Amino acid sequence: MKLRVLIGLLIVIFVTANVPAADPKLDGAYKFVGLKFPGGSQSDADVKGMIVVHGKYMAFVRANVGRKTWDQNEPEAERAKKMVAAYLGMAATCGIFEVQGDVISLTQLAQSSPASMGATAKWKYKLQGKTLTLEPVPNPGVEFTFERTRILLVITSIAILLPAPLCVLAMRASSAQESSAKPQEEAKKEEPRKPTDPMSAPTFTGLKLRSIGPALTSGRVCSIAVDPTDHTRYFVGAASGGVWKTTNAGTRTSA
């Protein structure tokens, strides 16, 4: 068991060391300490939050402490109020970032606010010891303060170990899709091609000559014979009696 743990820690350290970082100094996990804004402030007694930075990836989540819970037994209107309040009291984003000077540009791949999905957020940052401060560029006077923690190793372990079963599931799903696609492809191959010209020979291959009338009047053809050495010469027998002969493919006939 100890050997497995040691191997796992070595893998974590190796992978962590080989992930290209946007700014190596920023790598780590930071808990929310406080927020200052014009006219007020908040501390970790009011808000809980965290930032995790690994390589070129950053994730941030923040939620008010006083958010109320709800259950399905409450009136619908009351539940709706609590849901809206809970949503307004939460902020979350994650994405890929780059550093230019002292400004972080974060391309938000996922966001709690649909309007910010795919947008780029810019933050002016300062890292002094374990303290990280972030100031949103569009909002001067607003400052977030975070403090580095020691949970990065655990988070990195989860980040590394979690994709393994997900990759297995993805491979199984891909294999299942390929297996289901093969019978369909084989069925398509076995289907006879339809003629592009509706008046071509394949259209009439299944048809056979038969007498279709008239059934009650004279003039019906009941038999026909073609000279195999001369296809313009054939004999036709009428139902009412008599044999007709032609030597020019039916242009003229004689009884």
Is 31:172 a contact under the CB 8 Å cutoff?
A: no
Q: What local confidence, expressed as pLDDT, does residue 32 receive?
A: 92
Using N-to-C axis directions, what is the helix angle for 2-18 and 152-161, rounded to 10°?
90
pLDDT digits (tens, 9 = 90+) for 107-122: 998 887 777 888 999 9
- Helix (H) or strand (E) run with residue 49 in it: strand 47-54
The 10s digit of each residue's pLDDT in 39-93 is 999 898 888 889 989 888 998 888 888 778 888 888 888 888 888 887 777 888 8
Q: What is the pLDDT of residues 218-244, one digit of tens each?
A: 567 778 888 888 888 888 887 777 788
> Is residue 170 packed enough to be buried (19+ CB in 10 Å), middle (13-18) or exposed (0-12)?
exposed
In this predicted structure, what is the pLDDT of residue 163?
46
pTM over 0.75: no
Nearest to 49 by CA among 37, 64, 68, 69: 64
Contact (Cβ atoms closer than 8 angstroms) between residue 81 and residue 69: no
Domain segments of the chain as ranges: 20-162, 220-255
| pLDDT of residue 15 exceeding 60 | no
- Class of the CATH domain delimited by 20-162: mainly beta
Rounded Cα–Cα distance for residues 108 and 121 (Å): 7
- Report percent pLDDT > 70 for the chain: 68
Q: How far apart are CA 117 and CA 40, in angstroms?
A: 28
Helix, strand, coil percentages in the chain from 3-state DSSP, rounded to 5:
30, 35, 35
Other beta carbons within 10 angstroms of residue 207's beta carbon come to 7
Q: Are 122 and 104 in contact (CB under 8 A)?
A: yes
Question: What is the average pLDDT value for the chain, to the nearest integer?
Answer: 76
CA distance 70 to 47: 20
What's the number of CA atoms in the CB half-sphere (13 Å) around residue 134?
21
Give just the sign of the alpha carbon dihedral 155, 26, 147, 144. negative
